[in-house]
Structure 1
Amino acid sequence: MALKRNKRLLTLFAALFLAVVLYGGLRFYLMLGPRQAHFLLAASTSLADERLGDLRLGQRIDSIAPPPVPEPNNSTLDFYRCADGTTIAAEPGTLHIVRIFLPSHSNPGLRTGRGIGIGDPAAKAVAAYGDRCYRRTEQGALVIGYIDKQNHTTLEFWLDGATVSRIRLDSDELK
């Protein structure tokens, strides 16, 4: 009888240990894994009217004045540099913006649709967009991200300490 009870306890502890290891592994993967891994578990936040400065996803590149300058491209996207320091990207062969990126050296007056810009505290971004975000790291930076599952859009704030250092607005349907 005691042997049977000990066997049940051992099985219970083994199952509990396995559950903790699997949960910890999933959390570790989500923190360091690819950006798309967060899309499954993150809650949706409306980004329907989102923009960076005057730029919006889906906008035609040839509608921007002054015209952005093409940059050396990689094999997946065509990149352009705007006069204000913003980088935009389009799928090859199209002129519709699928990514807008504000690097740390871009015009500090550029803001998201809810007023967040480079140099703002991370807490201000969370206050503006809510706590329904995912967190991950990339290139050594903590990233706070929001996903709009209905509009297929993601907005990410890259942090330097507790300060927004880069902002990226993407279509989550990038090929």
Structure 2
Amino acid sequence: MSGFIAGGLVPSNSVPGSHINSDPFWPSIDLDSLRETLRIDSSVTPARLETAVVAAIISVNRDLAKWRAANLAAGFTTLADVPGTEILGKSERLHLYVRAVECAAGAEVCERYRGYDSTASGAKNADENMPTIDDYRRDQRWAIRDFLGKSRTTVELL
């Protein structure tokens, strides 16, 4: 009997410790939920997914470091403590934080997996993934800007 799963989803019980925690201020990231949201199949191993999510968390946490520091100084110990609009019983900012991390991780996964097949079909698939990578990066930036209450567009007169 083979353990090979061609393009299937990784069963949730196959990834022990499927949450990644960073600073206690920020929520943990559920790897099973991220896998489902981004439709990441079993060709991306748990270790590679974890690496992409850790890089995403580092990036997003750096982007939000000043905001976090201001809120810690105001007495809020976690993102969930910061008052704000709720959607589905969770803070709007919590949803945006998770979205930013998911999008950053999705871009990382797409970038890393596009180069495995160097044949003509691999090059074609890499070209098809480019808009997806760009879309993930854009969505990450939008989630962070929405989180901070900033406009999504910057316009400069030349």
Q: TM-score, normalised by structure 2?
A: 0.29
More helix by share: 2
More strand by share: 1
| Bigger CA radius of gyration | 1
Q: TM-score, normalised by structure 1?
A: 0.27
